[in-house]
Structure 1
Amino acid sequence: MRLFSIGNITKGDLDGFFGLFIDNLLQLLLIFTLCPLFCGMSHAEVTTKVLPGAAISILVGNIFFAVQAWLLAKKENRSDVTAMPYGINTVSLIAYIVFIMAPVYRQTQDASLAWKAGLLACLVSGLMELVAALFGGWLRQHTPRAALLSTLAGIAITFIAMGFVFQAFANPAIGLLPLLIIILGYAGKVKLPLGLPAGFVAVVIGTVLAWILRGFGVLPMPLPAEGGALGFHPPLWYGGELYEFLITPVGWGYLSVIIPMGLFNIIGSLQCLESAEAAGDRYSTTTSLCANGVGSIIAACLGSPFATTLYIGHPGWKAMGARWSYSWLNGVVICAIALFGAVGDVLRFVPLEVSLGILLWIGLVITAQAFQASPSHHAVAVAAGLAPSMAAWLLVQIQETLRVAGKTLYDTVDLFGSALHVRGVIALSQGFIVTSIVYSAVIAFVIDRKYREAAAWMLAAAILSAIGLMHAYKLTPNGVENQFGWFAAPEFAIVYAVAAGLLWLLARRPQTTTGFVAVTGPDNKIRITARSN
């Protein structure tokens, strides 16, 4: 049946392709830019050693998740199934470069050693995903939906939407019109001429407008890509180099960063799967996490230090009408661009600003879904989960502002005073993914008067703070660094432990009837039942 053909490409698939393509391309551009800047690698080395491995891992994962969605569509006889978006995680990409590869390079001045440390981080992350596949489903079942979705909403409205919308408004001549077309097409569900996808129309109009303005000298002509190396660059096997590095102590000294980032990818994947289920597509937790793990292991063995994982954004792609073909189509195009060394040349022809409206729309849809798909009485829990992500985003803005001014947070942290409690921003941002889940879960369980479960989550917060996975940090001339070890954040650990005890006492308190509530039963008849606390 043509409807369920794996190669069937719909208008929604084209829209979804543009959004996911831009997102994946951004990661490749970050790799192309940051590895030479922080790790001493040349652009040519990045193009020939790192990007081919990243390309293959992205291709394999996108094909897998396209087939997964196609099979689900056939099984449930539905044509509205949307594949899980997949690629390199931005947060872990930056963390691996800044907190693992860059320190190794600073200590040894050996770019090759820094690259191998990144390969180790990617390999360990992949292995952790495979292990997590055994118990990820259990964790997902015992975590309130508000807790799983609120963190995604926080990341979406800050790291995805805010930065990109600022960039579009900074270049309104080419960024604002495509953004408005996206909002008109998706939010207003306005049908465009010939039934063309809104994302496609926005990119084409924005690109044509940019080149017209360049022709009249209003915008500068694009410069040739620095360090470009056009030509076919096949992936090479680096398992031997990775094995040699495994027996050295250099990379293992950064497990305090590697393990939390592996956990971050796992938790993020669970959140993405919960987000997809809330949108109507339920995928196997075990199978999806295994695919993540295999993709990251392939990346490490083929030279990419950057783990691949599920992306947030499924409800956004689904709202666009994307199905499964957008996934494999993205994988093929991204793979071709990376293998042929064209990453640095793409933006010469298609300005990034013309596609940012798609990412803004994705961020808005994810944020809205966190409130819409969670029980309405858990709205406060969702709202609370946004705060840690906002703190993490604010910290990035503070550090970047100081860097531009030639200052560091280490030198200026005490100058802010009460105008901005920077140390509080730092503490809330450290382990913000975990903090968001814990806060949302505790509040959701308290709202439901499940004090025993709330106490368990608060006790988990105490333990995580004690070992440094929440709130603990060390401020150095190089910036904010994680601080791991026993009793790493003692003030937080003690407060959370006391709060856990109070919640436990509430759970043991005899229940008393405080009133009555109307409940609709399975037979749609309304019954009045006692409500206890």
Structure 2
Amino acid sequence: MSHAPQRPLRWFVAGDLNGFFGLVVDNLSILGFIAAALIGIFQFPAEVVFTRMFPGTALGVLVGNLIYTWMARRLAVRSGRDDVTAMPLGLDAPTSIGMALLVLGPAFVAFKQQGLDENAAALATWQLGMASLVVMGLLKLLLSFFGDTVTRLVPRAGLLGSIGGAALTLLGFLPLIETLRNPVVGFVTLGLLLYVLVARGRLPVRLPGVLVAFIAGTTLYYGLGLAGLGVPGFALPQATPLTLALPLPSLGFVQGLPATVPYLPLLLPFGVLMIVGGINVSESARAAGDDYRTRDVLLAEAISTLVAGVCGGVAQTTPYIGQPAYKHMGARSGYTLLTGIFIGLGGMLGYVSLMVQWLPVAVLAPIIVYVGLDITVQAFHESPRKHAMAVALGFLPSIAYLLNIKLGNPAWIAPETFAALYAASDAHGLPDLATITTLGNGFIITAMIWTTALVAMIDERPRHAVIALLLAALLTLFGLIHSVDPRGGIYLPWQLQGLRAAIMYQFAGAYAALAVVLALLSLQRPRVR
């Protein structure tokens, strides 16, 4: 039964300022890493990142936070409570960083290798990013009505183990390298973040710990750099001037849709994981006292992702897991309204890009390392203890993909050398590089299937494992997992010849053979307990 509140709801309370600052820093750090990865690692044109990608991405944050603000105020009116806290929404760290490192950056390099000049390659990559967001947004829109079914089909170890492996290798290890390329600045920043976020250490000032770490690292970077005290690669940023860039709807995503096909093994799990995360976050908010309808929470993030994609964005939005923490800060519904407006307008007016450009990579990367470690730990903590081995098994395909990223870099290994190593067999079986590449392609889906199969074995449900393995064999035939195309592309099995066909049939046959073995074992009498 709903009750009207006894006094008008206030738009802002004191705790909203704390919540606003924390949510803004989260979004800025992710935008900063996207820019650092694309511009610093892949030499992507900064103008495209700041004036085309960022405005639409920021618009998604604005739309999502406006919806969540409205939902909070509606719940407050219905419940007669004035202590309802809005769901926090922002850019999802793992998939946003994954988009930069695994989709946009490699695609930009691939487009240039196909003969496009830098500007044309950047435009094609931007359109790919838009299309990727639309694909994930449509998937989330559909799954919003079936979120609970997804979680019933895939065990928690399968979902968390697959993303945990990606978190440890791609969000933990790769940004750690960027952190230590400026050892003094990066290590101090990382140490401070671990001190305040993991050890819960006290600070002498009443400021958020993440802000203190950012200020300390940035001050150290510019102080040592300007003093000439050995900051590798130090240079004052050539900041892009403030310009008005309106994220208007366009059909650019339609042109990018064909280019999304090789990346579907990444994009589809990214969308599914956001739905699962949204379900978990809704439960977390419900436990904290705010009973949001799960479907509404999921629909809001799907709509904001779609709006961002149609308007030029390249990173998807998601409800953050910290709703109870914001509630403890005293935040209500004003902090999401402030954050949405600040980030949304900042993307259009350019001041968000300006702030991002002045934050050094060595200061931004450590927060991503922390995110990777936190997700990795969560994979074990939030899964049943008996499924720990399945979670660990799910980490292995991501290691292969990490090697793919490095070994597939033409600056490290010339394409002709890579092709020779790919086919260089020996007396022990398939070529090493071909095996690593095949294992790494589609690694998130592979990890989900492996962990699902092992969980079924642990739970003494071998027939469920057989179904998972047969699904893996089918997906292998079409390159959705274990693609024998070094770029991870999909194909029809009869299109392949020679070594690639042999590898495909070997991997698919391996899954089928194990499925037969487990099917025969399932015919045994049940174990007497």
In structure 2, the residue matched to 1:445 is 456
In structure 2, the residue matched to 1:387 is 396
Deviations 1:116-161 (A, max 9, x none): 5654444344323322333332111222111111112112111111
Structure 2 CA distance for aligned equivalents of residues 319 and 394 of structure 1: 39
Q: 1:367 to 1:118 in 2, by over 3 A?
A: closer
- Amino acid corresponding to residue 308 of structure 1 in structure 2: Q
Structure 2 CA distance for aligned equivalents of residues 193 and 470 of structure 1: 51
Give 1:430 deviation, angstroms.
0.9
Structure 2 CA distance for aligned equivalents of residues 482 and 123 of structure 1: 20
Alignment of 1:321-332 (within 5 A): 331-332=340-341
Deviations 1:60-113 (A, max 9, x none): 234445666888899799889973553463334542564499549947765666
Structure 1 CA distance for aligned equivalents of residues 175 and 323 of structure 2: 16
- Amino acid corresponding to residue 103 of structure 2 in structure 1: A
SS of residue matched to 2:411: helix
In structure 1, the residue matched to 2:497 is none
In structure 1, the residue matched to 2:382 is 373
- Amino acid corresponding to residue 223 of structure 1 in structure 2: L
In structure 2, the residue matched to 1:90 is 97
In structure 2, the residue matched to 1:517 is none
In structure 2, the residue matched to 1:204 is 215
- Contact 2:161–2:392, Cα closer than 8 Å, also in 1: yes
Alignment of 1:22-421 (within 5 A): 22-30=29-37, 37=44, 43-64=46-67, 83=88, 85-87=90-92, 89-93=96-100, 94-95=102-103, 98-99=106-107, 103=111, 106=114, 116=127, 119-218=130-229, 219=231, 222-225=235-238, 228-239=240-251, 253-254=258-259, 256-257=261-262, 259-273=264-278, 276=281, 286-304=295-313, 306=314, 308-310=316-318, 314=321, 331-342=340-351, 345-346=354-355, 349-400=358-409, 403-404=411-412, 409-413=418-422, 421=432
Structure 2 CA distance for aligned equivalents of residues 125 and 354 of structure 1: 30
- Contact 1:128–1:262, Cα closer than 8 Å, also in 2: no
Give 1:374 deviation, angstroms.
0.9
SS of residue matched to 1:427: helix
Structure 2 CA distance for aligned equivalents of residues 321 and 169 of structure 1: 35
- Amino acid corresponding to residue 199 of structure 1 in structure 2: V
Structure 2 CA distance for aligned equivalents of residues 190 and 252 of structure 1: 47
Give 1:179 deviation, angstroms.
1.7
In structure 2, the residue matched to 1:494 is 509
- Contact 1:175–1:206, Cα closer than 8 Å, also in 2: yes
Give 1:275 deviation, angstroms.
5.8
- Amino acid corresponding to residue 257 of structure 1 in structure 2: P
State which drifts further: 464-473 or 417-426.
417-426
Does residue 430 of structure 2 align to residue 422 of structure 1? no
Give 1:281 deviation, angstroms.
6.3
Structure 2 CA distance for aligned equivalents of residues 167 and 2 of structure 1: 50
Give 1:201 deviation, angstroms.
1.2
Deviations 1:457-498 (A, max 9, x none): 1221122112221112224xxxx3423224773222222123
SS of residue matched to 1:445: helix
- Contact 1:156–1:363, Cα closer than 8 Å, also in 2: yes
Structure 2 CA distance for aligned equivalents of residues 254 and 103 of structure 1: 10
Structure 2 CA distance for aligned equivalents of residues 319 and 258 of structure 1: 35
- Amino acid corresponding to residue 29 of structure 2 in structure 1: I
Deviations 1:342-382 (A, max 9, x none): 56643553323224333222222211111111111111111
SS of residue matched to 2:485: strand
In structure 2, the residue matched to 1:470 is 481
In structure 1, the residue matched to 2:4 is none
Deviations 1:154-183 (A, max 9, x none): 121111111222222331222222221222
Q: 1:49 to 1:363 in 2, by over 3 A?
A: closer
Q: 1:176 to 1:113 in 2, by over 3 A?
A: closer
Q: 1:14 to 1:55 in 2, by over 3 A?
A: closer
- Amino acid corresponding to residue 233 of structure 1 in structure 2: A
Segments of structure 2 that go 5 or more residues without pairing to the other structure are 1-6, 495-500
What's the TM-score, normalizing by structure 2?
0.78
Tell me the C-alpha RMSD between the 2 structures. Answer: 4.1
Structure 2 CA distance for aligned equivalents of residues 415 and 321 of structure 1: 59
- Contact 2:30–2:97, Cα closer than 8 Å, also in 1: no
Segments of structure 1 that go 5 or more residues without pairing to the other structure are 514-530
Deviations 1:369-409 (A, max 9, x none): 11111111111111111111122122212233x52465652
- Contact 2:479–2:488, Cα closer than 8 Å, also in 1: no
